[in-house]
Structure 1
């Protein structure tokens, strides 16, 4: 990957970020449209994406000899956490609303902060911690509101939270690899690992791998192309031009976009509690990211963006 790329015009960057946000917002819609098991949807989504990426990975000629056995092991672990993310989050949509599930996903930066503090002793500011507390309050409001709807909705909220925790662990592992593993190959490899994990999972459970109608195969392909390639892979590519904090702000756009699409395409209504809690979470996460990005700005001020943080970008939510 070249370090001497010409900067993109601001309007182009903005257009690409908006495109990515819209693309990942469709993920929950496609999942709701499908009648296939979540584990099957996730497996084909990952395998189809790997197939689409294959030619580009081949052309990039990544230097794999430089990778140690521990690098390969950590990539495998990262892929397994990615599989857990998809398993929990996609399953959550069978229990709770698109709004509740995707709003809880916005807690991803908060959980990453907690993990980074525990694993890497990374510090943050008091204002960022305030944003963290507000976001957690918002998530609690969603859970409290969904208890009033049904225990089933609360189960979906907990599954979404588990999926968010899994993706946070995936990104923290990726952070350890970001300076050593090319971004494109990293994404390709972890998609293969996660897809293989789902293959084993489905075989162990006796879940049918084939026999689905043409409509379902179309949804599997849409999941690979729209939210994954035009969403997550696009965000990883943008890390060549903007820092990870800027791209990570997209996490605030997904619940908004997904909720609007669910209203238009699934006839889902947004409750007053969900709306209020969503605003609380989004404000809390925005405030946290605004006051936590000083550390990143200092780290990146004098460094060109290479593979740094590419593996820890927002490429796997939703």
Structure 2
């Protein structure tokens, strides 16, 4: 089935869900900034704790359906290690990204944390150099990565610019980029386990592991941990914000995108998510007065997004060509 035929056959509700999911994930940055009196690692843990509670009943339902047939695979050492790895990288991703929201502007944080396709291209080139069975980046992936890094460099000219009460800093942008680097590990874990593991049976333990890891990290690193406590999100001042993060950004956003993957090609979902910096910045500006980006961010930001889009499209084409070649070799 061709891409266009597949898209025409997609139910209308899937498109509505995709739009809602993109807006959901895009809202997270602005929501996190509304509770910036809470230290970032603890804030990240609270978000994952509440998301785990939301995912738990859904995971129980899937376990009742699939548990008996998959029980032996869940107890395998390899599965446990991949789940632990996914949880660790998720904790690192959220910890670095939420910290970046305190250190730079919302737009810069969103631009750099969504740059993980550029990191994947670099990783592919490095791995392909030393391992025979891995493909090198395609021409369009390399071109896209180069364009993306040029866009990032242009956006960095705005360092020191004041945007809605936040100053653009190299440290904040670096933390967001670290968040993008760490999410690659989470993506790899998901790709390995989601080949056979139902979505909620994967998402629940990984999210819970991430939440638990961030608790001692906050305790040892952040001075005012005791002021808020492990479960401080239950306080009325914070509960609404973190419930919104769990339901809107977590359940509607991330789970919605995973649901859409059952009905539309991954390329469509991936390209849609590249709009997160734009939509997230608009949500922050319109609802929370987070300010508008500086001049060079207006120039470099779109160039960075175009580079990411080229990487995603180039990756989709390269994977399709590889699958075709494998079929021809087997026939």
TM-score range normalised by the length of the shorter chain:
0.7 to 0.9
**Structure 1 residues 114-125: aligned runs within 5 Å:** 114-119=122-127, 121-125=134-138
Corresponding residue of 2:5: none
**Structure 1 residues 1-318: aligned runs within 5 Å:** 9-34=10-35, 35-61=37-63, 62=67, 63-67=70-74, 68-119=76-127, 121-146=134-159, 153-205=169-221, 207-208=225-226, 209=229, 210=231, 213-267=235-289, 268-298=291-321
Which runs of 5 or more structure 2 residues have no equivalent in the other structure? 1-7, 129-133, 325-331
CA offsets 1:72-121 (integer angstroms, 9 cap, x no match): 11210111011010001011011111111101123111212333443463
Q: Secondary structure at the match of 2:20?
A: helix
Q: Check whether the contact 2:96–2:178 (CA below 8 A) recurs between aligned residues.
A: yes
CA distance in 2, matches of 1:295, 1:42: 36
Q: Check whether the contact 1:46–1:194 (CA below 8 A) recurs between aligned residues.
A: yes
Q: Check whether the contact 2:88–2:213 (CA below 8 A) recurs between aligned residues.
A: yes
Q: Check whether the contact 1:106–1:281 (CA below 8 A) recurs between aligned residues.
A: no
CA distance in 1, matches of 2:269, 2:196: 21
CA distance in 2, matches of 1:227, 1:211: 20
TM-score (norm 2): 0.82
Q: Check whether the contact 1:110–1:132 (CA below 8 A) recurs between aligned residues.
A: yes
Q: 1:248: how far off?
A: 1.5
CA distance in 2, matches of 1:152, 1:19: 29
CA distance in 2, matches of 1:122, 1:144: 35
CA distance in 2, matches of 1:241, 1:184: 18
Which runs of 5 or more structure 1 residues have no equivalent in the other structure? 1-6, 302-318
Matched pairs, number: 295
CA distance in 1, matches of 2:89, 2:303: 28
Q: 1:300: how far off?
A: 7.3
TM-score (norm 1): 0.85
Q: Secondary structure at the match of 1:180?
A: coil
Distance 1:281 1:54, change over 3 A: same
Q: Secondary structure at the match of 1:269?
A: coil
Q: Secondary structure at the match of 2:159?
A: helix
CA distance in 1, matches of 2:25, 2:323: 27
Q: Secondary structure at the match of 1:240?
A: coil
CA offsets 1:15-47 (integer angstroms, 9 cap, x no match): 111101111111011111112122222112111
C-alpha RMSD of matched pairs (Å): 2.3
Q: Secondary structure at the match of 2:262?
A: coil
